[in-house]
Structure 1
Amino acid sequence: MGNGEKWYAVKIGRVPGIYNQWNEAEKQIKGFKGAIFKSFTKVEEAEKFMDKEVQIDNHTLSSSEINERLNEELKNIEERKAIAFVDGSYTNKPKEKYSYGVIIFYLENGEVAKKSFYKAFVGKEFMQSKNVSGEIEGVIESISWALENGIKDIKIYYDYSGIEKWAKGEWKAESLIAKKYTGFLSQVKAEIEIKFEHLSAHSGIKFNEEADRLAKNALVENNYKTYRDGSVYVSGLTKADLDQVIEEFKNEALEFDEENVIEVSSNIVKDGKEKYQINDFNKNRISINFYGNSKLYIQGKTDTSFYQRFITLAINKLPSNEAVITVLNKLNDTERVDDLEKQFKELLPNVIEQGLDMKMKNNLLTAIFNYGFEANVPDYTFLVTPIFRAFDYYLHLILNGTCGLDTSKGFGFFNKDHDSNEYHFNVTDNPLNSFQLEYLNKLYNTYKQVRDPFSHWALNPLDVRVIPDIQTSKDFLFEGLQLVDEYYKVF
């Protein structure tokens, strides 16, 4: 570096950054109210200045000046960058809930675009931290959206100081929500640059107030709006695993209805990412972004069986129980680890884990996880999807594994008694004792009673039933898990 050379660090201006020409730096600050900048003789010092926290609140600037500065910043937003405003809220009337509101600005086709998201939570895991839990969930939502949409740089405006303190390691993560937050950041920090800027709460700053209203509205509404309605980050699946999941998904749809053709399209997009689109005749849709390094995002509506059937197939392919629990926590905004393994032993005391197929162990963990699900959704049918798969598994195990029958084309080994409406195994030459035969008939009848009407693969939506209350789905799960456990008593 030559003698006399200067570097101009524009911390707050039209386009913040480090410039080595004064005329370029001046363009960013001239006529810009509240501009903050400084000159340095070393670029390293300029970088330190840029990294230093600057409080933009009502103690330094008026709300009108801040709003003007923010409007100017949004006008100059660059490609693959985003600016987010987040806030959280909490209530204990009529029941405890916490929530977030998020507003995100970004460039779309050269124009500044805006999205807003909001959601309330009733789960107990993070309720202790109240509105802080909501604001953290809003930050996670913002970053997740950015990753999903190819954003490489996001600036997040927040009002709770822990948002930045935890992110920078200045505060130790003690609460469950803080641990979830720091764990999430450690996973994504290599993929996106995240900047934080503080705004004082309730100080008349337009977009901050708007995020606050969204968070409060989420507490009183039964619906919610997120960027994804179910986007989950999965690590550990290879391209071959993903292709196999898609093939199994297509075959399963045809098993229920030969007219139900699942359409799959894929293409390579920028940065080597491969994008998949999966659709069916009922206009259900799943989007998948595969990054070529065993990392993918699966996006869809979480409260549909179409999505849940696919996600459980994907979860079943994961290489470990820990990976399963991680994905389930991300999918359901929870942080459950120890209690899930404990519940497995409590609800399935007779299951012999040592010889249990890894896919089925993962599937049963998902069923147990769903048994503890707490949220307001219009249809709870998706929660029982893992039990459907368990019934399939154990029917194949008995009919094919024990009885030596060919189950590749289904379970056509039962006759229906039209007086009792019950099915009975019709293969007389079989190795089953009376207890095993009784169990097989019970398993198949439960399979028919539960899986068929709630399959959600029907061509005519009127042929499909839904589970409108959470207790019914929990009853199905509990009874199904008991039936699975009984297998290990009689076989």
Structure 2
Amino acid sequence: MKTGYYAVARGRCTGVYKTWSECERQVKGYRNARPVLLQSKLLMIIYRKFIKQSDALAFILKNSISNHAGDGKSSQSELSSTTELQKLSSSKPSFSQEENIWEGIPIVYTDGACSFNGHVGATAGIGVYWGEQHVDNISEPLLRGPPTNNRAELEAVIRAVQMAIQRRYHQLIVRTDSNLLIQTMNSWIHGWQKNGWKTSNGTTVKNQDLIIELNGLLKNINVRFEHVAGHVGIYGNEKADQLAREGALHYHQTKS
């Protein structure tokens, strides 16, 4: 068995893996996947084995930001990214504060599914994916409130955070394809609380019961929300989506 630290900078799920089998699942069949080769031209480098975990993390940081194949020309955004990378590389305290505190932290993928969203006969389910055949994976119908996609997304995160607290985790990374959820919990909630749970146009905030519940849970654990694109082959997200859709199949059966 191959051993070491396997850094996946581009693949189904980026990160550092301790076994080759875990790394292989993220890159096998992934478009443009290839290991580092000693060639003069820059390649689409997406994974590499390291002895030290710190080197693996540095590889991900570098290649997910500034490793581009091309003719040597750089756009303004690419130059900006390179500049930011140089700042990070030369500022060890900043890197330590922003990244090292999340090293080795559990990662969970959450998703909600709803068929006929907003219409009569809608069915909704939640999906929580910790890993292959993980005991804490969840695939259930949405049991509270009207069956909508946004409620299912929130409920899935609530269940994941509850489990993390139960497991006595101090930190958790939640990956979701819902920008709405991330904006809600990271930004909008603060204004809504001050405005009596009214939006900027004066309407009542939807799903505030779940938002309030989740916000209360977040006082007991340090959670970082990370956005992932949905339905583009990201393994963890696809598995969470599958669990949510399977949960929605049991919606009417549970409600009846």
- The residue correspondences of 1:37-186 to structure 2 (distance < 5 A) are 38-41=88-91, 43=93, 45-46=94-95, 78=104, 81-92=105-116, 95-105=121-131, 113=134, 115-121=136-142, 125-127=145-147, 130-170=148-188, 172=192, 174-177=204-207, 179-186=208-215
Structure 1 contact 86–211 (Cα < 8 Å) conserved: yes
- The residue correspondences of 1:441-456 to structure 2 (distance < 5 A) are none
Residues 113 and 221 of structure 1, relative CA distance in 2, 3 Å threshold: closer
- Distance in 1 of aligned mates of 2:108 and 2:53: 26
How many positions carry a matched residue from both structures?
173
- Distance in 2 of aligned mates of 1:214 and 1:95: 20
* CA RMSD after TM alignment: 3.7
- Distance in 2 of aligned mates of 1:185 and 1:122: 16
Per-residue CA distance 1:27-61 (angstroms, 9 max, x = gap): 42337884455224473x5478659xxxxxxxxxx
**TM, length-normalised to structure 1:** 0.30
- Distance in 1 of aligned mates of 2:211 and 2:220: 15
- Distance in 1 of aligned mates of 2:123 and 2:53: 49
Equivalent AA in structure 2 for residue 29 of structure 1: A
- Distance in 2 of aligned mates of 1:153 and 1:183: 20
Flag structure 2 segments of 5+ consecutive residues without an equivalent.
Answer: 1-13, 18-51, 66-84, 198-203
Residues 31 and 84 of structure 1, relative CA distance in 2, 3 Å threshold: closer
> In structure 1, what is the equivalent of residue 254 of structure 2?
376
**TM, length-normalised to structure 2:** 0.55
Flag structure 1 segments of 5+ consecutive residues without an equivalent.
Answer: 1-11, 16-22, 52-72, 107-111, 224-374, 378-469, 471-491
Residues 27 and 213 of structure 1, relative CA distance in 2, 3 Å threshold: closer
Taking CA–CA contacts closer than 8 Å with sequence separation of 6 or more, which of the two structures ends up with the larger relative contact order?
Answer: 2
Residues 167 and 32 of structure 1, relative CA distance in 2, 3 Å threshold: closer
Residues 32 and 94 of structure 1, relative CA distance in 2, 3 Å threshold: same
Residues 182 and 29 of structure 1, relative CA distance in 2, 3 Å threshold: same
- Which has the higher Rg, Structure 1 or Structure 2? 1
> In structure 1, what is the equivalent of residue 237 of structure 2?
208
- Distance in 2 of aligned mates of 1:34 and 1:114: 33
Structure 1 contact 85–158 (Cα < 8 Å) conserved: yes
Match of 1:195 among 218, 224, 234: 224
> In structure 1, what is the equivalent of residue 16 of structure 2?
14
Structure 1 contact 98–219 (Cα < 8 Å) conserved: yes
